[in-house]
Amino acid sequence: MSALLEVSDLRLQFGGVTAVDGLSFEVREGEILAVIGPNGAGKTSAFNCISGFYLPTAGSVVFDGKAIVRSVPAIWRRLGLVNLLQSFGFYRVLPSRVTKWGMARTFQNLRLFRELSVLENVTTAMHANLREGFWATLLHTPGYRRAEAACVREARGWLDFVGFEDDEQLYVTQLPYGEQRRVEIARALATSPKLLLLDEPAAGLNFNEKLTLMRLIRKIRGLGVAVVLIEHDMGLVMELAERIVVLNYGKEIADGAPEAVKRNPAVIEAYLGVDESEDA
């Protein structure tokens, strides 16, 4: 299998804190990979760099052959103009572009549009791909209305896919937490990703909801979509992931199959050894 995502020597510093310290790993097409590590290990920071939300201090991220993190010539660094240039869009790829390239994500703390309905939350994700022009949108031409209707059909298809059974017209805030998580995944899938990043998808879910989530993630992989999840629930990770990357203090300390990772002394010491019977 070829690498869909290549992360090389990624570094992210917040002042004196090194959140990600030389992280390198790859994600192959259609695989399920888990990124684990103790609290503060740098997992979310790494996700934020990979998906274009943060600009790493150094390193490269290549997704589907396209550079998400672009190297900045040393002259700009010496002149201290990196931040200024990047704020004008130079040497960086914005998250919206990364999504168009085929990488979607969910967030540790849900980021749904609270003032929109369930259905609108999902259709909004597809509007970025609507090809209707400004005037067609403004005048609601027949072409625009057809495209809009197709969007709604597709959004319903994704809600169905993730097993959403509530009322699509409710505001997302009216839903139980587990359903909100499902809507967030439906919204991510509606962007037609090749790679889906899930940041702690099982957090706050009960046992049955976790089982449903595992089935859903396998179903997503069945579509040919690679899934990378950050997760603290070791039972779920060991059951679901084909490969596990372990971080500790921003550094990668293991990358391998679940069985091998479980036996890795560095992992046991850093993480699993704390209490193997508990979620971290």
Ligand X SMILES: Nc1ncnc2c1ncn2[C@@H]1O[C@H](COP(=O)(O)OP(=O)(O)OP(=O)(O)O)[C@@H](O)[C@H]1O
Nearer to ligand X, 19 or 202 (CB): 19
Answer yes or no whether residue 109 interacts with ligand X by CB under 6 A: no
Instruction: Using CB under 6 A, pick the residue from 2, 16, 39, 275 that binds ligand X.
Output: 39
Task: Please say whether the dihedral angle defined by the alpha carbons of residues 136, 142, 147 and 148, taken in this order, is positive or negative.
Answer: positive
Answer yes or no whether residue 37 interacts with ligand X by CB under 6 A: yes
Answer yes or no whether residue 4 interacts with ligand X by CB under 6 A: no
Answer yes or no whether residue 43 interacts with ligand X by CB under 6 A: yes
Q: To the nearest 5 percent, what fractions of the chain are helix, strand and coil?
A: 40, 25, 35
What residues numbered 9-28 form the site for ligand X, per CB under 6 A?
14, 17, 19
Smallest gap from residue 252 Cβ to ligand X (A): 12
Smallest gap from residue 56 Cβ to ligand X (A): 12
Smallest gap from residue 186 Cβ to ligand X (A): 23
Closest CA to 128 of 205, 183, 187: 187
What residues numbered 75-104 form the site for ligand X, per CB under 6 A?
none
Name the token pair of 120: 């609108």
Question: What is the C-alpha to C-alpha distance for residues 67 and 52, in angstroms, rounded to an integer?
Answer: 11
Smallest gap from residue 113 Cβ to ligand X (A): 23
* Contact string (CB under 6 A) for ligand X, positions 243-272, x = contact: ------------------------------
Name the token pair of 53: 């939300």
Closest CA to 188 of 177, 201, 171: 201
Question: What is the C-alpha to C-alpha distance for residues 73 and 65, in angstroms, rounded to an integer?
Answer: 21
Interface with ligand X (CB under 6 A): 14, 17, 19, 37, 39-45
